[in-house]
Amino acid sequence: MTVRDALNTALDEEMSADPKVFLMGEEVGEYQGAYKITKGLLDKYGPERVLDTPITEAGFTGIGVGAAYHGLKPVIEFMTFNFSMQAIDHIINSAAKSNYMSAGQMSVPIVFRGPNGAASGVGAQHSHCYAVWYASCPGLKVLAPYSSEDARGLLKAAIRDPDPVVFLENELLYGETFPVSAEVLDSSFCLPIGKAKIEKEGKDVTITAFSKMVGYALKAAEILAKDGISAEVINLRSIRPLDRNTINASVRKTNRLVTVEEGFPQHGVGAEICASVVEESFGYLDAPVERIAGADVPMPYAANLERLAVPQVEDIVRAAKRACYRSVSVAAAA
Amino acid sequence: MALSHLKSSSSGSNFLKPLATAFSLRRPISTSTDPITVETSVPFTTHRCDPPSRTVETSPQELLSFFRDMATMRRMEIAADSLYKAKLIRGFCHLYDGQEAVAVGMEAAITKKDSIITAYRDHCTFLGRGGTLLEIFSELMGRQGGCSSGKGGSMHFYKKKSGFYGGHGIVGAQVPLGCGLAFAHKYNKDDAVAFALYGDGAANQGQLFEALNISALWDLPVILVYGMGTAEWRAAKSPSYYKRGDYVPGLKVDGMDAFAVKQACKFAKEHALKSGPI
């Protein structure tokens, strides 16, 4: 099943199960979805439940949050999360904080979903990763699926959750196919929020990743295996709440950690994971934590520059070898 | 004292009992519901719609409740002002004294199934929706007994079960949220409307026009209620706020006249249910 179909079927099943669920966003209806994620849903559920909006994120996001205040369950699509910045006040101040500020009176069961992070050749304003922007805010849940199983299970969990959820998809993963079990295809399938998945077990080094980078980390693990390094790959699935227990348990087993993300390095997901491991498992670390992230520049357009600006499999392999003291660190060589 | 032996027949908090009983000691006040008609002080000015009648129906009971509620609101805000100056209320404290007729007139025209949302000048609107003075002062002073358990403060009062959705600190945010409440009313087909209250700051916000455009496109039963605050010449090129909706009809109402407000809200609710935003 492709990730696209996984998301489509998850939306379909949740809309069928609960009449309060509705979709809102640019091109979600008549155009069948900018990336065809919402294909067929307008025909099936009608224009009262699948709403095409003008290009006014602040307006329609606020309307979505207001509807959630009253008890409906909106799924708001951002064509990419770059445009969510137009609406970020409503995501943070109107949605995330309301439950706390009202001492529990105002639950906001809303989902904000859409593609996040680097795509291909779309330039600086269309390639930003927002994982840490949202993950730093108490009151929000932030999910980042990788496989079709992740996409189905996490989106269903997000829609059923009574709190606001930011659901970060990846445009380049939409067309990828993953094997899915019968359990995943069942309409009641749901994944827990806040639990990471160990995609591949290992004993020499832990590699954490989310979204597209999970695929890269798995490829890196194959290459490392040929050099006798057994890497454990953790698919975070949930950026907030972060599954600190799984990460720390893994580091306590392997004693070495590489964090991988596509977004900018400063104050990134890797920074938070590193801090968490230093706080909870310092004595178990045999090497400094290695952070692999996107280059600290706005995303360039030229293909060769773009390739240099995002992590590649070789970068992950090199970092894992550095963590295992199999190569000299860049700083020591200079 | 004789007052303590008398049971008040009025509904209201403990704070109101002495006031009501003092009145009933001195002279009889009618609680009759016989209709009386009153004319609004000034006629309505309209934009793209016909005005409602200047003749408003009321009753002695309603008149007394208007007085009692507005007097309570005024005293409450003045007390809050003193507490704020004494630093017993921290942070922000935005007062509504002077605008009591709007809160009271609006409540008289609608039900608790209708929704109201406003910005941070929310003390009296909250009281009108069924809040108690104890909840209000406890919240302002950061106590557990406050309506938000002390976690919200002056700007974050909510009473979801009687249709009051806050209480918002970011200027202008409440307008799209109010349109969202109207969306929910229409989705649920519950014949109720949403009132989104805003002031001069929000009147120029882009998100207001974004939400108004969508509301007009989707015929959402939302009523945008503007109330004056900042000097017009400082912020607004066009001070005719009731015309700012352009393709959306508007009504200019004397906010000092509770009957005009009641009539306007009744008219606006009917309009919103039939034809969309106003």
Burial class (CB in 10 A: 0-12, 13-18, 19+), A30: exposed
% of chain B beyond a pLDDT of 90? 77
Mean pLDDT over each residue of chain A, to the nearest integer: 96
The CA distance from A170 to the nearest CA of chain B, in Å, is 28
This prediction's pTM = 0.91
Task: Note whether A101 contacts B185, CB cutoff 8 Å.
Answer: no
Planar angle of CA A317, A320, A325, nearest 5 degrees: 125
Which amino acid type is present at position A119? A
Best residue of B171, B179, B210, B219 to probe chain A, by most A CBs closer than 10 Å? B210
| CB contacts, 8 Å: A105 with chain B | 148, 158-160
Once rounded to an integer, what is the mean pLDDT over residues B115-124? 97
- Half-sphere exposure for B242 (CA within 13 Å, toward CB): 16
Which amino acid type is present at position B202? A
Task: Note whether B187 contacts A67, CB cutoff 8 Å.
Answer: yes
Could you tell me whether strands A197-200 and A231-235 are parallel, antiparallel, or unpaired per DSSP bridges? antiparallel
The Cα–Cα gap between B196 and A308 comes to 50
| CB contacts, 8 Å: B214 with chain A | 53-54, 56, 59-60, 63
pLDDT at residue B30, rounded to an integer: 77
Burial class (CB in 10 A: 0-12, 13-18, 19+), B124: buried
Phi, psi of B108 (to 5 degrees): -65, -20
Query: Per-residue pLDDT for A148 more than 60?
Result: yes
CB count in 10 Å sphere of residue B67: 13
Smallest Cβ–Cβ distance between B213 and the set A56, A69, A93 belongs to: A56
Higher pLDDT, A91 or B40: A91
Smallest Cβ–Cβ distance between B183 and the set A63, A94, A105 belongs to: A63
Q: Give the model confidence (pLDDT) of B19-61 as tens digits.
A: 555 555 566 777 888 899 999 988 999 999 999 999 999 999 9
pLDDT at residue A85, rounded to an integer: 97
Contact criterion met (CB below 8 Å) for B201 and B230: yes
Q: Which value does ipTM take for this structure?
A: 0.92
Phi, psi of B37 (to 5 degrees): -110, 145
Q: Give the model confidence (pLDDT) of B59-107 as tens digits.
A: 999 999 999 999 999 999 999 999 999 999 999 999 999 999 999 999 9
Residue of chain A whose Cα is closest to the Cα of B146: A103
The Cα–Cα gap between A238 and A278 comes to 20
Task: Note whether B176 contacts A54, CB cutoff 8 Å.
Answer: no
Phi, psi of A199 (to 5 degrees): -75, -35
Contact criterion met (CB below 8 Å) for B16 and B8: yes
**Residue A234 sits at the chain B interface (C-beta within 8 Å):** no
Q: Give the model confidence (pLDDT) of A108-134 as tens digits.
A: 999 999 999 999 999 999 999 999 999
Q: What residues of A are annotated to the active site?
A: 57, 126
* Element at A21 (helix H, strand E): strand A21-25
Higher pLDDT, B242 or B8: B242
Phi, psi of B194 (to 5 degrees): -120, 135
pLDDT at residue B68, rounded to an integer: 96
pLDDT at residue B16, rounded to an integer: 54
Task: Note whether A72 contacts B187, CB cutoff 8 Å.
Answer: yes
Q: Give the model confidence (pLDDT) of A174-187 as tens digits.
A: 999 999 999 999 99
- Cβ neighbors of B79 (< 8 A, separation 6 or more) are B137
pLDDT at residue B15, rounded to an integer: 57
> Two tokens at A277?
């491991």
Planar angle of CA A262, A267, A271, nearest 5 degrees: 80
Query: Per-residue pLDDT for A326 more than 80?
Result: no
The CA–CA distances, whole Å, from B1 to B12, B13, B103, B236 equal 21, 20, 35, 56
Task: Note whether A69 contacts B218, CB cutoff 8 Å.
Answer: no
Query: Per-residue pLDDT for A263 more than 50?
Result: yes
**Residue in B188, B175, B58, B173 with CA at minimum distance from that of residue B116:** B175
pLDDT at residue B5, rounded to an integer: 41
The CA distance from B224 to the nearest CA of chain A, in Å, is 14
Once rounded to an integer, what is the mean pLDDT over residues A233-260? 98
Among all chains, which residue has been given the structure tokens 């010449």? B233
pLDDT at residue B7, rounded to an integer: 43
| CB contacts, 8 Å: B207 with chain A | 58-59, 62
Q: Give the model confidence (pLDDT) of A294-308 as tens digits.
A: 999 999 999 999 999
Q: Give the model confidence (pLDDT) of A184-219 as tens digits.
A: 999 999 999 999 999 999 999 999 999 999 999 999
Query: Per-residue pLDDT for A158 more than 70?
Result: yes
**Residue B276 sits at the chain A interface (C-beta within 8 Å):** no
**Residue in B92, B98, B130, B120 with CA at minimum distance from that of residue B13:** B130
* Element at A317 (helix H, strand E): helix A313-323
Cis peptide before A241 (omega within 30 of 0): yes
The CA–CA distances, whole Å, from B178 to A67, A153, A163, B235 equal 8, 32, 19, 23
Determine if residue A121 is left, alpha or beta; phi over 0 gives left, psi from -120 to 50 gives alpha, anything else beta. Answer: left
Which segments of chain A are extended strands (E)?
21-25, 50-52, 73-77, 111-115, 141-143, 165-169, 197-200, 205-209, 231-235, 238-240, 257-260, 290-292
| CB contacts, 8 Å: A94 with chain B | 168, 170, 173, 177
Of chain A, the end-to-end C-alpha distance in Å amounts to: 47
**Residue B176 sits at the chain A interface (C-beta within 8 Å):** yes
Mean pLDDT over each residue of chain B, to the nearest integer: 89
Best residue of B92, B159, B177, B215 to probe chain A, by most A CBs closer than 10 Å? B177
Torsion of CA B77, B81, B87, B93, to 10 degrees: 70
**Residue B210 sits at the chain A interface (C-beta within 8 Å):** yes
Query: Per-residue pLDDT for A19 more than 50?
Result: yes
Once rounded to an integer, what is the mean pLDDT over residues A78-93? 97
Higher pLDDT, B169 or B229: B169
Contact criterion met (CB below 8 Å) for A50 and A42: yes
| CB contacts, 8 Å: A62 with chain B | 173, 175-177, 179-180, 207, 211
pLDDT at residue B6, rounded to an integer: 41
